[in-house]
Amino acid sequence: MHRKEVNERSPMRVLEHSIHGGLGRGNIGVVVARPGLGKTAFLVGIAMDDLLRGRKVLHVSLEHTVEKVRDYYDDIYSEIAHKRELEDVWKVRVEMERNRRIHCYPPERFSVDKLREAIGFMKEHGEFEPVAIVIDGWDFGSKTAADIQRIREIAGELQAEVWMSATTHREAERNERGVPEPVAHLEGELDVILSMAHDGTSVHVGLHKDHESTDVTDMKLALDPTTMLLVRKR
């Protein structure tokens, strides 16, 4: 199967359809879940979809080392290539790696200013301008609307989509739309909010906010805990 066909058949098309065409450039999406449910794998899956389209991706991790993040990409790519019988496996992999940058920080050393500085350096010295940015492990609990706005400014300047992860807990408070803390108090600043929860056989991906739409329906999307791939639910 050719790369274009793999991309066209990706479960990511379900996500795009569910949120009326996708996250959209300049916008911010968040996936929130309890520890260990696969938030990183979900974000890598989103990034992989962009990479398979030949787009440039910046992955920022505040939880893992560069080697660990690279392992996520390698494992998920290998599963996709095997299941879809992808042609030119090594050629596609090399191209994807050229279009990807991984930056890892201890949480206490990361800031939006450092993100902006890193992107500026990549643009000036590496001719690398991402159209998708993944930020994995940001501490939403300590953040304000102003912090989100600063991320949005970067997204707007680059015309890039920004996907982030947030960790919640079983006892976390939820608002009327079911959005748990630490994201609920920032709901108005975010464009798309997803959640992940184990339903007994797989990790169900739910939709809580879809831009300004009030039609928030079941996406029929899940994360296979064995392969760490997104799959369509029946």
Helix 66-83 and helix 39-52: axis angle, to 10°? 60
Predicted local distance difference test score (pLDDT) of residue 234: 67
Whether residue 191 contacts residue 28, with contact meaning beta carbons closer than 8 Å, is answered with yes
Cα-only R_g, the chain:
17
Count of other CB atoms within 10 angstroms of residue 107: 11
What is the full DSSP assignment across 74-126? HHHHHHHHHHTT-SSHHHHHHHHHHTEEEEE--GGG--HHHHHHHHHHHHHHH
The predicted structure's pLDDT at residue 130: 97
Closest by CA to 84, choosing from 196, 201, 230, is 230
Single-letter code of the amino acid located at 154: I
How many Cβ atoms sit within 10 Å of the Cβ of residue 111? 12
In angstroms, the CA 94 to CA 92 distance is 6
Q: Would you give per-residue pLDDT tens digits along the chain (234 residues)?
A: 777 777 777 888 888 888 878 899 999 999 999 999 999 999 999 999 999 999 999 999 999 999 999 999 999 999 988 887 888 889 999 999 999 999 999 999 999 999 999 999 999 998 999 999 999 999 999 999 999 999 999 999 999 999 999 999 989 999 988 899 999 999 999 999 999 998 777 899 999 999 888 777 777 788 888 888 888 876
Note the pTM of the prediction, 2 decimals: 0.94
The pLDDT value recorded for residue 209 is: 93
Helix or strand holding residue 203 (H, E): strand 203-210
Q: Which strands sit side by side in the sheet containing 57-61, from one edge to the other?
A: 100-104, 57-61, 132-136, 161-167, 28-33, 192-198, 203-210, 221-223, 230-232
What is the DSSP code string of 30-65?
Answer: EEEE-TTS-HHHHHHHHHHHHHHTT--EEEEESSS-
